[in-house]
Amino acid sequence: MGESGGYSEKDLIRMIRKWVPRERVPKRVKVKDTSDFFRVDYDDVVVLDSVPYFVRNNEREGRFGIDDEQKFWVKRARNLLTGDVKILKWVFRERFEARIGDLVFDCVRSPQKEARILELVSGKPAFMQGKTVLDTAGNQLRILDYIRGKTLGQAALELGSGHEDYFHNHFPELLREFIVLVEAIRFLHDHHEKHGDIRRDHIIKDDTTGHYRWIDFDFNYRHGESRFGYDLFGLGNVLLFLTGRGDVTTYRLLREDPEAFDRLSEDDVNIVFQNRVNNLKKIYPYIPEKLNRVLMHFAISAPLYYEETRELLDDLGEAREELKAGSWEVKKLGR
């Protein structure tokens, strides 16, 4: 059968016509070997597990100020049998050193890790779904369900007319959803797995289900005494962003609210990103104490750190109860 998987060019073009606009249907299609992702281009077809996929663009990712780098090993494609949009992720190994502040540590991009986690989280709604097949060179190629939707960061910034409106009317639901996401990470940790790259743009609100899903599990980092500390740090950053309706930086405060800036001390900033304010209660006094205390676990002055996701979840549960009680009081006062 070879690369074409038994499909003639005519068959493939007929299938393509079913799923893409007329002006996008190519005159010719080539079925490409899957062993080299650089040779697989837009409008090519690859056959995986006897299913033809019509390849579209390379996916992109912004990271650490570098916007939209192309990821040549990750391509969007359409399943020509069902019309479903998929993400095809080829094997691309990368070992590198990550830098956080002054700290340098080993990281790896591991297709086998992602394949393992996909199997672990199969059917779980808080995670992207997919399966692993072998390319013609015997490498693990992941076929992921494309999630149409906004990232958590994008979704949060669109809510509310200002911080107070956002916090009273939208944040409680966001916090509930965030807790579900943290429980999902706890599931990974309970199975000795890390997410490895927790960021708000690795959380997508699935337009189909309305719920958030984690994506991109292929990173791993060399942990020390605390296996999950870096994952927990990521969760803290996401919570800080959600609570502040964006990152509240010292620079922004100095420009927009110098009085609030004057209330801060050096103890109030993030332990790693010291331009970010963790003590948000000093900026927004209506933030309840228990929630603020969770944020302060990630501040430079924190005497104790979370070691396990369970500890964070316990505190978030209490913070959520206090928030609910507080909103009832706010409603009683008729605000």
Partner 1 sequence: MENQAESPVKDKHLLIAVDESDSSRRAVLYVADFLGGFPGFRVSLLSIIPEPEQDFYETEAELKAWVEEKIGKANKMLEHYRTILIQSGFPEEKVRFRACVGEPKSLSDAILEIRCDLTCCTVVVGRQHKTRTEEFLFGSTSNRLVHEAKNCAIWVVE
Note the residues at the interface with partner 1 (CB under 8 A).
93, 95, 100-103, 105-106, 108, 110, 112-113, 192, 220, 222-227, 229-230, 233, 271-272, 300, 302, 305, 307
Least separation in angstroms between CB 264 and partner 1: 18
Three-state SS letters, the chain: CCCCCCCCHHHHHHHHHHHCCHHHCCCCCCECCCCCHHHCCCCCEEEECCEEEEEEEEEEEEECCEEEEEEEEEEEEEECCCCCEEEEECCCCEEEEEEECCEEEEEEECHHHHHHHHHHCCCCCCECCEEEEECCCCCEEEEEECCCCCEHHHHHHCCCCCHHHHHHHCHHHHHHHHHHHHHHHHHHHHCCCCCCCCCHHHEEECCCCCCEEECCCCEEECCCCCCCHHHHHHHHHHHHHHHHCCCCEHHHHHHHCHHHHHHCCHHHEECCCCCEECCHHHCCCCCCHHHHHHHHCCECCCCCCCCCHHHHHHHHHHHHHHHHHHHHHHHHCCC
Least separation in angstroms between CB 27 and partner 1: 41
133/300 with CB nearer partner 1:
300
**Neighbour tally for 328: CB within 10 Å:** 10
73/233 with CB nearer partner 1:
233
Least separation in angstroms between CB 98 and partner 1: 10
Least separation in angstroms between CB 279 and partner 1: 16
Closest-CA residue to 148 (of 118, 128, 131, 130):
128
223/290 with CB nearer partner 1:
223
Least separation in angstroms between CB 298 and partner 1: 8
Least separation in angstroms between CB 273 and partner 1: 10
Residue 224, CA atoms < 13 Å, CB-side half-sphere: 6
170/223 with CB nearer partner 1:
223
130/326 with CB nearer partner 1:
130
Q: Are 290 and 312 in contact (CB under 8 A)?
A: no
132/220 with CB nearer partner 1:
220
Least separation in angstroms between CB 225 and partner 1: 3
22/95 with CB nearer partner 1:
95
Least separation in angstroms between CB 107 and partner 1: 9
53/230 with CB nearer partner 1:
230
* Residue 318 amino acid letter: E
Closest-CA residue to 301 (of 323, 271, 281):
271
Least separation in angstroms between CB 260 and partner 1: 25
59/114 with CB nearer partner 1:
114
